[in-house]
């Protein structure tokens, strides 16, 4: 049993850029907006790069070896998470994602609750998180009067900031950013406003699913000392948990027979060791710890994000 590493599924976007080249050597030509680093979706699936499972897709493995690789609690029809990196040189559309019931009924897809970690930000970088104190009636009026940009909640951001974006929360990523995103395994987006770009909008669908009670505050998390470094609990929701590891020397961990873990290096470099091997880690690398791996060690100095599907009794909201 080995940790799994995957290819990068790159997507060209009109708002994308080339910033991922600062730590990636395989970036294709074009304005790359997204790198799907761990994905098992009809619009893109990861392929294992190394080890006994090399050449197999994540979708194939989830069907063939679900218990050993992904855990005894993975009773989902599809792999439950999607992990990506986002790079922006222009603002994304102002958009919203539906909840599960609406998405399944209208799009044959899941809803899309997600979380963002800011890996890189220019001094002017911002996010749009929600609509302030505007209600549905006021929002509709602002749309009719072409005043949408005036009422959006714009938040300045810096490296290390974390945000929880629940389905139903209107949002957008501004220019000058590299964002780590962990989300439900979905690709359903309703564009509400797109700064005059000639792309399809989904205004009526968006109005049906916007939740004006959601605010999406910055997540501070709770940090504690562990042997070899620090660990910060950031988010725990019904779909995923997100934690940050600041590994100063080495941190020893155990896999969980009930679930897999996803790790992404967001700063520094280090080494991953397990019983039968080791792997050098650098910024932007993601890997999957199988449920049956056993003991493994993270060696630093390196900063990583860890995401997974929590136990049902742990699924409180951050």
Q: ∠ at Cα 123 (117, 126), nearest 5°?
A: 50
DSSP letter at 169 equals: -
CB 80 within 8 A of CB 239: yes
Cα 160 to Cα 116, 254, 300, 305: the distances in Å are 10, 26, 18, 11
CB 167 within 8 A of CB 111: yes
CB 185 within 8 A of CB 82: yes
Which segments of 66-202 does DSSP mark as H helices, in order? 100-107, 136-144, 148-151
Q: Which residue has the tokens 């619009």?
A: 43
Identify the burial level of 173 via C-beta atoms within 10 angstroms of its C-beta, where 0-12 means exposed, 13-18 middle and 19 or more buried.
buried
Among residues 28, 23, 171, 31, the alpha carbon closest in space to that of 93 is found at 171
Give me the active site residues, please: 191
Which segments of 224-291 does DSSP mark as H helices, in order? none
Residues in the chain: 318
Among residues 25, 30, 26, the alpha carbon closest in space to that of 12 is found at 30
Q: Cα separation of 216 and 234, whole Å?
A: 14
């Amino acid at each position: 049993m080995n940790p799994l590493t995957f290819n990068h599924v790159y997507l060209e976007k009109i708002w994308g850029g080339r910033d991922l080249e600062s730590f990636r050597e395989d970036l294709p030509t074009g304005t790359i907006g997204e790198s799907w680093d761990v994905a098992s979706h009809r619009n893109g699936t990861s392929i294992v790069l190394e080890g006994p499972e090399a050449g197999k897709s994540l979708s194939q493995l989830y069907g063939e070896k679900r218990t050993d690789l992904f855990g005894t609690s993975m009773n989902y029809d599809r792999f439950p998470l999607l992990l990506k990196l986002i790079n922006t040189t222009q603002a994304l559309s102002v958009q919203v994602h539906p909840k599960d019931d609406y998405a399944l009924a209208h799009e044959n897809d899941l809803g899309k609750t997600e979380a963002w970690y800011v890996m890189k930000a220019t001094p002017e970088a911002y996010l749009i998180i929600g609509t302030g104190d505007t209600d549905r009636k006021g929002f509709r009026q602002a749309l009719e009067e072409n005043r949408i940009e005036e009422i959006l909640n714009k938040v300045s951001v810096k490296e290390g900031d974390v945000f929880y974006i629940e389905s139903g929360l209107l949002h957008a990523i501004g220019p000058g950013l590299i964002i780590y995103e962990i989300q439900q395994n979905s690709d359903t987006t309703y564009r509400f406003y797109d700064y005059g770009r000639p792309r399809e909008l989904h205004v009526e669908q968006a109005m049906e699913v916007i939740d004006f009670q959601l605010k999406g505050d910055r997540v501070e998390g709770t940090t504690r000392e562990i042997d070899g470094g620090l660990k910060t609990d950031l988010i725990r929701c019904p779909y995923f948990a997100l934690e940050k590891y600041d590994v100063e020397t080495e941190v020893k961990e155990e896999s969980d027979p009930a679930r897999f873990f996803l790790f992404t290096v967001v700063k520094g470099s280090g080494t991953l060791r397990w019983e039968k091997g080791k792997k050098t880690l650098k910024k932007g690398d993601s890997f999957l710890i199988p449920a049956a791996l056993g003991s493994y060690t993270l060696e630093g100095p390196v900063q990583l994000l860890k995401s997974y599907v929590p136990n049902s009794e742990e699924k409180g909201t951050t």
